[in-house]
Amino acid sequence: MEMLTAPQVLALAPDPASVKAGQSLASPAEWSALGRDGRSVWGECQGSALYRTQADLTGPAFHCSCPSRKFPCKHGLGLLLVLANHPARVPETATPDWVAEWIKRRDAGAEKKAARPMDAVPADPLAAARQEAEKSKRSARREDRVQAGLAELQTWLGDLIRQGLARAKDQPARFYDAMAARLVDAQAPGLARRLRGWPGLLASGEHWADRVLEEAGLVQWLLNGAARLDALPDGLRAGVRAAVGWTMTEQEVLADPRAERCTDRWQIVGRRIEEEEKLRVQRTWLVGERSQRAALCLDFAAGNQPLDVSLLPGTAMEAELVFYPSAAPLRALVGTRQKPEPSGEPAACADFEAAADQTAGWLAGDPWLERAPWLVRGCVPGEHGGRWCLRDATGGIVPLARRLGSPWPLVAACGGAPATVFGECDGHALLPLSVFAEGRFIHLEDGTP
C-alpha cells in the first residue's frame, strides 16, 4: 500500500483553512474505530455528529459522511495525517461493510468508465461519418474564433505601438485586462495570460520600457507565427499553438506519434505552486539521470480540487516521460512509472554560463519559453548592488527573483558554503526552488501548502 507522507497529505488540501482544520484532526485521539486494509483506511470522528470517513489510497480518493462541500474535507485530510504520522495507531483489521461497499461502488464506476472508449465510433458507417464531420466542424469553428481574436490583438497592438509605450504606461490595468478577457473569449488563453502580465511589466521600475518592448516583440512573433501556421515546421507549429493556448488533452499527447518518449530515472528537483486566475498551477521539474534532460509537469486545480501529489521533490523514479510536441520539448506527462525512492544529488551545470547556453538552445526552439530550468552547482548566496544574488564557482552573478519570499532559508541551508541550486530563470532573475547542501535535498517552501 502506498502511504503518503504528511506534506503530501497537506498538499491535497483545497485551501489553507483546510490545512489547519485537517491538522486539528491529525491526532489519533480525535478518532475512533480507526482501521486499514491493503487498499483503504477508515475511521470515525466526532464532530457535530459522528462522521464516517474513508479514503481509497490508490487514488487517493475520499468519502465522508460530513456535510462539508470541500474536497477532500478536513476529516479526509485528518485521517490521512493520522496514517502518515501515527501508522501504529491505525491497525490492519477486517474491512467494515460501509467501507467495502464504497470501494465496490468505486470499482464499478471505474469499470464503466473504462468500458466507454474515448471516441466510440458508431457501428453505422453513416453515423460515423456524421460524427467525424461534426468533430472537424467544431474544431474549424474554434480555429476561426482564435484567428478572429488574434486579428483583434494585432490591431490593438499596432495602435499601442503607434501611439508609443509612454502613453501605454498611462493606461489603467483594466485596459490590458479587457484585451486579455477578449482573448479568453477567443479561446487564446495563453496569449491572455501574457497580456495580464503587462501592467506588472509597465510598473516594473527602471528599464520597464525594455521589458515591455521585449514582450511586445515576442507577442508580435507569436502573431506572425499563428498567421502562417501551416507553413511552419512541426515543432515550431506546436510551440506557437501551445503559446497561443490551444491545449492538448493528455490523451492527445499520449496518442501523438510525434510526441517524444524518454525512459530514465527521473529525479524530482523542484516544485512550485502558484495562483493564476482562480486556478492553482503546480509546476514540478524533473531531471533525467541518464539523459540529463529536464522536464516540466504541470498540474492544475480549480477551486477545491486537490493537486497531484505523486511527484514529491527529493525523490526519484524510473519512468517513461511523454513530451508535448515542441521544437524545444520541456513540458511532459509521466507515463508508466515505478515506485519513488529518495534521490541523490543530480548532475548539474558547472556554472551559470553553461546554464545560459542551455537556455539559448531552448529559446531557439521555443522563443516563447518564459522560465527555463537552471541546475547549477557551486552556488553561494550573497548581496550584490543591494540585491540578493547567487554567485557561481567562476564568479558569475545572477540576481534572485523578487518573487522569492525570503532569501534566508536558502542562506541558512548553504551556510556560506557552495551548494547546488535548482531554480527557474526568467531571463532576468533566478527563482530558486531547491538546494542540495551537505548531502541533503532541501525543498524551499513556496508558501503555498
Helices (H), 164-233: 165-168, 173-185, 189-196, 198-202, 208-227
> What is the nearest approach in angstroms of another protein to the Cβ of residue 397?
5
Which long-range contacts does 84-88 make (Cβ < 8 Å, 24+ apart)?
A: 84/3, 84/4, 84/5, 84/6, 84/8, 84/9, 85/6, 85/26, 86/28, 87/3
| Binding status of residue 391 toward another protein by CB under 8 A | yes
Per the CB < 8 A criterion, the answer to whether 349 and 377 are in contact is: yes
Choose which of 141, 142, 397, 402 interacts with another protein (CB under 8 A): 397
Provide the Cα torsion 252, 253, 258, 264; round to 10°.
Answer: -150
What residues from 152 to 171 belong to the interface with another protein (CB under 8 A)? 154, 157-159, 161-167
What residues from 417 to 436 belong to the interface with another protein (CB under 8 A)? 417, 427, 435
Please say which residue, 51 or 253, places its beta carbon nearer to another protein. 51
Please say which residue, 63 or 371, places its beta carbon nearer to another protein. 371
What residues from 345 to 374 belong to the interface with another protein (CB under 8 A)? 351-353, 356, 359-360, 363-364, 367
> What is the nearest approach in angstroms of another protein to the Cβ of residue 200?
17
| Binding status of residue 23 toward another protein by CB under 8 A | yes
> What is the nearest approach in angstroms of another protein to the Cβ of residue 132?
36
> What is the nearest approach in angstroms of another protein to the Cβ of residue 210?
6
Per the CB < 8 A criterion, the answer to whether 280 and 273 are in contact is: yes
Choose which of 184, 191, 202, 413 interacts with another protein (CB under 8 A): 413
| Binding status of residue 446 toward another protein by CB under 8 A | no
Query: In the stretch 24-43, what mask flags binding to another protein with x, by CB under 8 A?
Result: x-xxxxx-------------
> What is the nearest approach in angstroms of another protein to the Cβ of residue 26?
8
| Binding status of residue 447 toward another protein by CB under 8 A | no
Of 284-292, 295-303, 323-331, 396-404, which part binds another protein (CB under 8 A)? 396-404
| Binding status of residue 229 toward another protein by CB under 8 A | no
| Binding status of residue 220 toward another protein by CB under 8 A | yes
Distance CA 254, CA 260 (A): 10
Distance CA 181, CA 191 (A): 10
Report whether the peptide linkage leading into residue 342 is cis, meaning its omega lies within 30 degrees of zero: no
Alpha-carbon distances of 295 from 135, 245, 284, 348, rounded to whole Å:
32, 19, 8, 14
What residues from 239 to 298 belong to the interface with another protein (CB under 8 A)? none
Cα first-last separation, the chain: 24
Please say which residue, 298 or 364, places its beta carbon nearer to another protein. 364
Choose which of 183, 398, 404, 431 interacts with another protein (CB under 8 A): 398
Choose which of 93, 139, 224, 247 interacts with another protein (CB under 8 A): 224
Q: 58: which strand partners?
A: none
| 352-365 helix and 234-244 helix, angle to the nearest 10 degrees | 90
> What is the nearest approach in angstroms of another protein to the Cβ of residue 378?
12
What type of residue is 407? Answer: P
In whole angstroms, what separates CA 310 from the centre of its chain?
A: 12
C-alpha grid cell for residue 108? Answer: 464499478
Quick one: DSSP state of residue 57?
T
C-alpha grid cell for residue 8? Answer: 503530501
Distance CA 100, CA 139 (A): 44
Distance CA 398, CA 392 (A): 9
> What is the nearest approach in angstroms of another protein to the Cβ of residue 318?
23
What residues from 56 to 85 belong to the interface with another protein (CB under 8 A)? 85
| Cβ neighbours of 144 (radius 10 Å) | 11
> What is the nearest approach in angstroms of another protein to the Cβ of residue 433?
13
What residues from 91 to 120 belong to the interface with another protein (CB under 8 A)? none
> What is the nearest approach in angstroms of another protein to the Cβ of residue 119?
39
Of 16-24, 96-104, 189-197, 278-286, which part binds another protein (CB under 8 A)? 16-24
Of 60-68, 129-137, 210-218, 330-338, which part binds another protein (CB under 8 A)? 210-218
